Amino acid sequence: MENTQSVSKFKLMVLWTIICLSIFLFIVPNFAQAKKVFNPEAKPWETPEGRTCFEQWISEAMAKMNAYNGSDDYNARKAWRINRYGILEGNPKYGPTSAYAPDNWSQYNGNRYWYMWDYWHAPSGIWGKPDLNAAGVPHIRPYIQDCLRKAGVDSGGTQQQATNARCYQYARTAVAQNQENIRRRCGYSGARWSNNYKSHYGWCKGVSKAFADSETKAREDGLRKCRSVQKPVTGVGGAITGHKAPFQTKSRDVVGRNEILRGDGVNDWMFAISLRAEGTIKSITIRNTDGEFSVWDTKPNNRYWLLGVTTYDKRVLNKSDGSVYFNVSGRTDLYLLAADNGSSLKQGKTSYKVFIEFVDGRVLERNVGSASAQAPGADRDIGWLTDRVWQFGRGDGSVIAGKIRLRPGGKIEGYSHYNESRWGLEGNTLVFYDGSGKPTCRFNTVRTVGGGMVLSGPFILNPQVSHVLREVASQQAQSAQPPGSTGAQATGATGPGIDWNKPWLDWRVQNCVRRYLRERVLQIENDEQRRNNKPLFTHIDEWGRLLNQYITPHGKVDGDWENPTHYVWYAYNLDGAR
């Protein structure tokens, strides 16, 4: 009897164990499936959900930029939009515009959203362009990740992956917050304030979400207090390291013969200076050292005429009362504007000194000479660049931007890309710089072709590619030549017309051929594909190669072709090609 009872108890225990395991195996997988999280290693640009989130970001970001009331220059470029390559563009009149793909477009397999994932990424948490910060444009990666989480995108989620994703975002936010702490010189320190991503990430994985969120909030509260008061920045030493003798501008009219921040209808005179210093500037003064008595400054209500203080992109730093109060760090270029006080500037018989005063009492000063210190023709030293309209392209004949202008002060107008953020001169060599100030191309070859100037040089980030500037138009019939230029003519098209012996060398023909391929050839070929129920071609490259997801190009077309248009001119030798 006892054995029978023991066997029954054993069977009951086995049955209970089986039931428990069944419940566990049924519940756990469903629980895991419910924990859908975003995996930071995923590629959102490849999924329909991800692409939808990208489009939502574009819509929201552009709405914020177009609603923001910025500077006159910013507002004049509205309406802002994202083009088919994921690049920011303004209106056709003022730009920037970018009609052709970026140099590294092939690295992204022609995927607009993948390119945007990197192009619009701000690792520091702060946009490089202040207007984007002021407009409240959301940062793209956190936005896409949050969008996908809300959509319940499954990345094979487990509880561990959820923690990894949460801490990935926590650590990135913590580093960005500390970088703002450093940049604003808020003075916060300790374990909470660190640029060590691994340390933040490891700490987050060992605490609850609520605890981690409280740390993020504590940092944000501290930054909010710091932002509410602009703290004076103190530094040691510093110097005004360079200057350009005063000259009259061709179009700047910011100040007049008074203390009011308003133009008077006469082009201002400019003192361009460079300084290296850390600190907060509270006033700038220019006064004569000989000749006629002259004073311009930024101190309100002292009866001296106002000195305008601007940046290379023409941003005015004066407050409404004319005073200044701004931080500098490292190298800073300032463009100081003054109204001629009768004759001292124009006659060039008076020399000047600039004084820069910091809140901590330091004063930097430098003699900046007189207008007569300009070398003969110095006012045209950059005229051979700024008086012309240029086409920006590559050595293979492809065009990056149809028309750009190189503006005084380093601004590139009509085209916007990080790799070509501004321009400058090294000696007499034109140089393009990226957003961090690193050179990306030195145009070390200058020649004239068909009466127009052509500059070329290797693209430093990929020396196999050369960049070319071709003159499209000049403001004057006899434009300035680059210093040292002999004016020698190279063979090619002559005059304003097209050399029909080699039409593929003319930029106008190149643009027409591209349009012909895009609007005629691609359309005709896709009509044929539809009739045969075959996959459509998505685009056609400048060599006339029809492409889609199954067909990708590799290198140039075989043969001794001077550029892609040269090949197309013969390969598509039909009446419509002309």
Least confident window among 156-160, 297-301, 534-538, 564-568:
156-160
**Among residues 58, 104, 95, which one has the least CA distance to residue 401?**
95
Q: Classify residue 401 by burial, with Cβ atoms within 10 Å: 0-12, 13-18, 19+.
A: buried
> Residue 362 corresponds to which amino acid?
R
pLDDT given for residue 336 in this prediction: 94
Q: Give the pLDDT band of residue 27 (cuts 50, 70, 90).
A: very low
* pLDDT, average across residues 285-292: 86
Query: What's residue 31's pLDDT?
Result: 32
Q: Is 308 helix (H, G, I), strand (E, B) or coil?
A: strand
Task: Considering only residues 172 and 578, tell me which one the structure prediction assigns the higher pLDDT.
Answer: 172
Query: Do 294 and 287 form a contact (C-beta atoms < 8 A)?
Result: yes
Instruction: Give the pLDDT of residue 19.
Output: 52
Contact 363, 355 (CB under 8 A): yes
Residues 298 and 284: beta-carbon distance below 8 Å = yes
Compute the half-sphere exposure of residue 54: CA atoms within 13 Å on the CB side of its CA.
24
Mean pLDDT estimate for the chain:
76
Q: For residues 288 and 307, what is the distance between their CA atoms, to the nearest angstrom?
A: 14
Domain 379-490 fold: Lipocalin (2.40.128)
- Averaged pLDDT, 72-95: 84
48-72 residue pLDDT tens? 778 888 998 998 899 888 888 877 7
Q: Is 524 exposed, middle or buried (0-12, 13-18, 19+ CB in 10 A)?
A: exposed
Rounded Cα distance, 96 and 445, in Å: 26
Backbone angles phi, psi at 453, to 5 degrees: -80, 140
Give residue 354's pLDDT.
Answer: 93
CB neighbourhood size of 418 (10 A): 13
How do residues 351-380 score in pLDDT, each as one tens digit? 889 999 998 888 898 888 776 544 333 334
Q: What is the mean pLDDT of residues 103-113?
A: 84
Sequence spans of domains, the chain = 1-34, 44-228, 239-373, 379-490, 508-577
Residue 526: the pLDDT is 82
Q: Is 270 exposed, middle or buried (0-12, 13-18, 19+ CB in 10 A)?
A: buried
Pull the structure tokens for residue 92. Answer: 């056709």
Cis peptide before 496 (omega within 30 of 0): no
Tally the residues of the chain: 578
Question: Is 490 a residue whose pLDDT tops 50?
Answer: no
Structure tokens at 132: 């984007």
Check: CB of residue 350 under 8 Å from CB of residue 288: yes
Are 364 and 239 contacting, i.e. CB atoms less than 8 angstroms apart?
Answer: yes
Q: Is the pLDDT of residue 552 over 70?
A: no
The topology under which CATH files domain 239-373 is Coagulation Factor XIII; Chain A, domain 1 (2.70.50)
| Residue 420 token pair | 């070509």
